[in-house]
Structure 1
Amino acid sequence: MRIVSSLLLVAAALAYPWLVPNYYLVYAGVLTVMYAAMATSWNILGGLSGYVSLGHSAFFGLGAYGTGLLVARLGWPWPLALGVSTAGVALFAALVGVAAVRVRGASFVIVTIALVSAMNLLAQGWRSLTGGSVALQVPSPFAGLHRGQTHLLFYHLFLALLAAVLLAWWLISRSRYGSGLRAIREDEDKAESLGVPTAAYKVVAFALSALFVALAGGLYALWFGSLDPIFVFSVVFGASMVLMSLLGGRRHLLGPLLGALIVAPAGEYFLIALGETQIHLTATGVLLVLVVLFMPEGILARRWRRDHNRRAPQVLRRSDGGA
């Protein structure tokens, strides 16, 4: 049944751009798939190790600006620019992670917020390099395509990224390394006493999570073509990744994907309904608070618990010799 459901989900994802009536809905689909890829990337750290980062938009922004600057200022081919930028961000994240993972809980959250805030101020202040609030303009690598065709192309590029991140999460979760990360999530001190190299495991998870988020940022720069530091280095943007993972269920492979399918279209609806104001961002914050308070384990966790409770009486009857 799971295989059939997975195949249907893949078929629906591939067919989506050809089924919707206009290119705006394709654009909305690109955003949704991009958010799903980033939320799943965040979940490599947040879901497996339990470390909550609100600053992952720093890596998204660095990946976007790194790729954009290499293409716009140096004229690099976009695949090379994307690869070099992503690798650079992953290395930077590993260096930051060495210091960041020394603290836990609220202190770790504060460190990640400080990181994205520092990147925001740097990008706005260094106008000669980034363009500041005027925005950095990145030439399209597919100039021969009109905007709608570009949406179609990048929809499938982001879909390939999502597939890669889902595969990475699935492989990690079933490995010895993934077991170590879950041990850290449940009781870090006990995990360390049992021989788990907790510091190294956390740094690797931090860097790997940042790598995929940076890759999404680079693709975003090539697709959207205009980079505003206020958006790409936004704490609210980072919080959206957390919200999607929490809402769907951060301990589950498809939890962030489910959350993205709910939150991303809702965000677009609020943006259209409320206009270019900050009210739609407030709606995201309120939703995050409600999820944390009333459904911290997510939708999939509630469904799993309900199904488990239904099966429990049958198991008990069998153990008692019942039919």
Structure 2
Amino acid sequence: MLAGAALLVSWPSLAANPYLVSAGVVVLNYAVFASSWNIMGGLTGYISLGHAAYFGLGAYGTALLIQNFDIPSFGAWFLAGLLTLVIAIPVGWAALRVRGASFVIVTIALVLVLALIFQSLRGITGGSDGLIVPRPFPDLLRPEHHATFYYIYAGLLAVVLAVWFVIARSRFGAGLKAIREDEDKAESLGIPTTRYKGIAHALSAYFVALGGGLYALWFGDLDPIMQFSVLLSAEVVLMALLGGVRFLLGPLVGAIIVGTALEYFVLNFGETQLHLVATGILLAVVVLFLPDGVLAGLSELVARFRPQATSIREMTAEELQNQRVSEVRPGSGVDADPTSSERSEQELAPVERSPS
């Protein structure tokens, strides 16, 4: 973990050109998104394909607050996250009343509805023409601009991971995991499942919105088709599942793998749909062969080479003899008879543990 953290922090200085730094920003953006999604999806087991809605709300909220209210860039970013949180509370209350495939359909509908709304409001959002976001650091050159946002994203990722870590080891997190394993049983045991799910959903939406706001400040150009995209949500879910939703660093590992692959396909094959084919194949492989993620698979592989634990405690003949002698009750007369003791030693001496 320390080596990985050191590599992430030093990436801008190790990268050979500014493009690689910008690719690092994209990967960290995916990592923030996937780790934030994991607060909801990983701990509760509710697979949401609608978190792109909160990503888009955070991005457009940041841009509109800067343009229409002259709020400083990072003040607008923080405020947009809070506004998205307020919106996510009633949305989560309505969506979480259903489960399974119905919940997935509701979350997809949320993204599609918001995409249509923001595309039709040309006078406010710019519609399909896009929306230009003022740069927060206008004096920086493009390479320094990328490096600055790289470190900002890294800081936000650290916060998200810390929040997930604390929640996963708390009483609240235990309740969320109980919901993931068996919601009906958890509710019968007195866990307030509705409230727990709503809190997890709101926290997840808040951090996703912060990631979207940072993307708006970094990239500077917003398009409702790109920001409110079901495909974006699906890619993020794939990242979390690939790394392992039960692990702290699972979504980060998945974001590094999938995000790097997506950048590679876009760089080498342009605007073709080949990256969608590769994403679909990777999703099928994960579902078939790594249902618990890469980290779980690696853990099982390492466990195969470790000494196998046994439920039977190994014991020498001498230890067994001492144990039997100690079990003799005082005053029973057994110890007073030396022949009995000698006979016990003779009977116990040949006792050896078999290899099995």
**TM-score per shorter chain, which class?**
over 0.9
Partner residue, 1:316: 310
* TM-score of the superposed pair, with normalisation by structure 2: 0.86
Partner residue, 1:305: 300
Change (3 A) 1:54 1:312: farther
Mapped to 2, the partners of 1:32 and 1:226 lie a distance apart of 18
Q: How many residues align structurally?
A: 317
Per-residue deviation, 1:308: 3.7
Of the three residues 250, 254, 258, the one matched with 2:249 is: 254
Partner residue, 2:24: 29
Q: Is the 8 A contact 1:72 1:137 kept in 2?
A: no
Gaps of 5+ in 2: 316-352
Partner residue, 2:337: none
Mapped to 2, the partners of 1:234 and 1:286 lie a distance apart of 20
Per-residue deviation, 1:302: 1.3
Mapped to 2, the partners of 1:312 and 1:211 lie a distance apart of 44
Of the three residues 129, 132, 148, the one matched with 2:127 is: 132
Partner residue, 2:224: 229
Partner residue, 2:273: 278
Of the three residues 201, 209, 212, the one matched with 2:204 is: 209
Q: Which structure's CA Rg is the greater one? A: 2
Mapped to 2, the partners of 1:228 and 1:273 lie a distance apart of 23
Per-residue deviation, 1:279: 3.0
Mapped to 2, the partners of 1:281 and 1:72 lie a distance apart of 35
Change (3 A) 1:155 1:182: same
CA deviation digits over 1:144-195, x for unaligned, max 9?
A: 0011111000000000010000000000000000000000000000000001
Mapped to 2, the partners of 1:283 and 1:118 lie a distance apart of 28
Greater RCO between the two (CA within 8 Å, min separation 6)?
1
Mapped to 2, the partners of 1:154 and 1:92 lie a distance apart of 27
Mapped to 1, the partners of 2:144 and 2:298 lie a distance apart of 39
Mapped to 1, the partners of 2:273 and 2:133 lie a distance apart of 26
21-30 vs 77-86, which deviates more? 77-86
Mapped to 1, the partners of 2:239 and 2:80 lie a distance apart of 26
Per-residue deviation, 1:290: 2.6
Of the three residues 268, 286, 290, the one matched with 2:263 is: 268
CA deviation digits over 1:201-245, x for unaligned, max 9?
A: 001111100100000000000000000111111101011110011
Quick check: 1:290 aligned with 2:295? no
Partner residue, 1:3: none
Partner residue, 1:243: 238
* TM-score of the superposed pair, with normalisation by structure 1: 0.95
Partner residue, 2:166: 171
The AA in structure 1 aligned to 2:207 is F
CA deviation digits over 1:220-279, x for unaligned, max 9?
A: 000000001111111010111100110011110010010011000100111122211333
More helix by share: 1
Of the three residues 23, 44, 69, the one matched with 1:49 is: 44
Mapped to 2, the partners of 1:128 and 1:319 lie a distance apart of 75
SS at match of 1:316: coil
CA deviation digits over 1:72-102, x for unaligned, max 9?
A: 2322101221111100101111110101111
The AA in structure 1 aligned to 2:81 is T
Mapped to 1, the partners of 2:262 and 2:220 lie a distance apart of 21
Per-residue deviation, 1:304: 2.0
Partner residue, 1:155: 150
Mapped to 2, the partners of 1:109 and 1:312 lie a distance apart of 43
Mapped to 2, the partners of 1:9 and 1:228 lie a distance apart of 33
Gaps of 5+ in 1: 1-5
The AA in structure 1 aligned to 2:176 is L
CA RMSD of aligned residues (A): 1.5
Mapped to 1, the partners of 2:166 and 2:241 lie a distance apart of 21
Quick check: 1:90 aligned with 2:61? no
Identity %: 55
Per-residue deviation, 1:8: 1.6
Mapped to 2, the partners of 1:52 and 1:319 lie a distance apart of 43
The AA in structure 1 aligned to 2:177 is R
Per-residue deviation, 1:312: 6.0
